[in-house]
Amino acid sequence: MMEKTGLVLGIETSCDETAAAVVGRGVNVFSSVVSSQIDLHARYGGVVPEVASRAHVEMLTPVLAEALVESGVEPDELDAVAATVGPGLIGSLLVGVSAAKSLALVWDKPFVAVNHLEAHLYSTFLEDPDIELPLVVLLVSGGHTMLVLMEAHGRYRLLGETVDDAAGEAFDKVARYLGLGYPGGPAIDSLSIKGDPGAIDFPRAMMSDGYDFSFSGLKTSVVNHVRKNPDVATADVAASFQEAVVDVLITKARRAVADTGAKGLCLAGGVAANSALRQRALDVCMDDGVRAFVPSRSLCTDNAAMVAAAGWWRLHTDGPSPLDHGADSSLRLPTVA
Ligand code: KG4
Ligand code: ZN
């Protein structure tokens, strides 16, 4: 039986998942409900912002109710209400932020503004509360690709990031080109199992060049290869593309762990649900004698448990956020120089 202390209600509506969760002390998950809008957006081949905001308005109340009922926690037992305030789609963010602030006001609880990127970093602590820092985090999602050195709670050093497309964006664009539908990551992941990752030698951009990434040239190479070889097996293209992405991500992450003397490597963000990336991270960490933290897939993709966890830490470091706190679609991860 988990102790009912440090209870935070988290709300996540930054993109196309409507989610709510109750988490104790940033680690004990009492409930985590995620309602995905994937089916709504699939016919358009990507997330349509206006459709997303409207769906959040419709789904947030039932999702919140389910998260509260499932947790067995009464509103008066909560320590705070936390919501993602950015980055993300502004209309979507505003739905969750407005709801969280209203509930905080009505229940007379502190409101905590949460950075979505920081929330992804905290997903690991939900499964491994005793992680030793410093840790290199490879944060790979639909909108971001970053290598972050987490030195302490709330203290991050940005080692590198993408100079163009995010890794998830590359998966989504290549999948769309190959006619595999949306979202592209899971589609390429499952098709790759039937393909040969060594079939096509796609370029690995900026491989020996610092910690930044570039994926737009890779996407163009895939398009050019398929145009020149119309009979190529789609599974081989998918597997070879995935291999190129994983190779670059893991090579740089591994080097970052060695260069910084970090205790381990942690994966976060939607692309961290990728089977090949997860396996490679486990393999290289085993070879290098460092720890690998690979959260379960449901914690890698957007969820509110990670928002509640980050909210708990932020409440203790910064205190509550003001109720006139807005949403910021281009919010950055707070980093030290
Ligand atoms: O973190 P997330 O759920 O939302 C953002 O904050 O962006 O990440 C979504 C991204 C999408 O680009 C999706 O295609 C990708 O994560 N993704 C995957 C897999 N599952 C989701 N990419 C590769 N392999 C997967 N299995
Ligand atoms: Zn995300």
Q: What is the pLDDT of residues 195-207, one digit of tens each?
A: 999 999 999 999 9
Tell me how far apart the alpha carbons of residues 9 and 267 are, in angstroms, rounded to a whole number.
24
Q: Classify strands 291-293 and 17-24 as parallel, antiparallel or unpaired.
A: unpaired
Residues recorded for the chain: 337
Pocket test for ligand 1, best of 121, 171, 178 (most atoms within 8 A of CB): 171
Query: Is residue 242 within 6 Å of ligand 1 at its C-beta?
Result: no
Asked if residue 32 has its Cβ within 6 Å of ligand 1, the reply is no
Percent of the chain at pLDDT > 70 equals 100
Is 130's pLDDT higher than 90?
A: no
Residue 22: what pLDDT? 98
> Near ion ligand 2, which residues have CB within 5 Å?
141, 302
Q: Is the CB of 142 under 6 A from ligand 1?
A: yes
Residue 21 Cα distances to 11, 256, 322, angstroms: 7, 33, 22
pLDDT at 182: 86
Tell me the whole-structure pTM to 2 decimals.
0.95
**Side chain identity at 324, as an amino acid letter?**
D
Across 276-305, average pLDDT: 97
H helices of 261-332, where? 275-288, 297-300, 305-318
Write the pLDDT tens digit of every residue in 146-204: 999 999 999 999 999 999 999 999 999 999 999 998 889 999 999 999 999 999 999 99
Amino acid at 65: A
- Could you tell me the sign of the dihedral formed by the alpha carbons of 222, 228, 230, 236, in that order? negative
pLDDT-derived band of residue 211, with 50, 70 and 90 as boundaries? very high
- 270: CA distance to ligand 1 center in Å? 3
Name beta bridge partners: 145. Answer: 140
Find the DSSP H helices in 72-206: 90-107, 116-127, 167-177, 184-192
Q: In angstroms, what is the C-alpha Rg of the chain?
A: 20
User: What are the angstrom distances between the C-alpha of 271 and each of 35, 53, 120, 153?
Assistant: 19, 23, 12, 23
The pLDDT > 90 percentage for the chain reads 91
111 lines ligand 1 (CB under 6 A): no
Question: Average of pLDDT values for 94-106?
Answer: 98
Predicted local confidence at residue 21, as pLDDT: 98
Q: What interhelical angle do 116-127 and 305-318 show, nearest 10?
A: 100
Is ligand 1 within 6 A of the CB of residue 86?
no
Mutate to test the pocket of ligand 1, among 301, 303, 330 (most ligand atoms within 8 A of CB): 301
Q: pLDDT tens, 213-232?
A: 999 999 999 999 999 999 99
- pLDDT averaged over every residue in the chain: 96
Rounded to whole angstroms, the Cα distance separating 69 from 236 reads 46
Task: Classify residue 190 by its DSSP letter.
Answer: H
CA-to-CA distance for 246 and 240, rounded, in angstroms? Answer: 10
Read off the pLDDT of residues 18-27 as tens digits, 9 standing for 90 and up: 999 999 999 9
**Mean per-residue pLDDT, 127-134:** 90
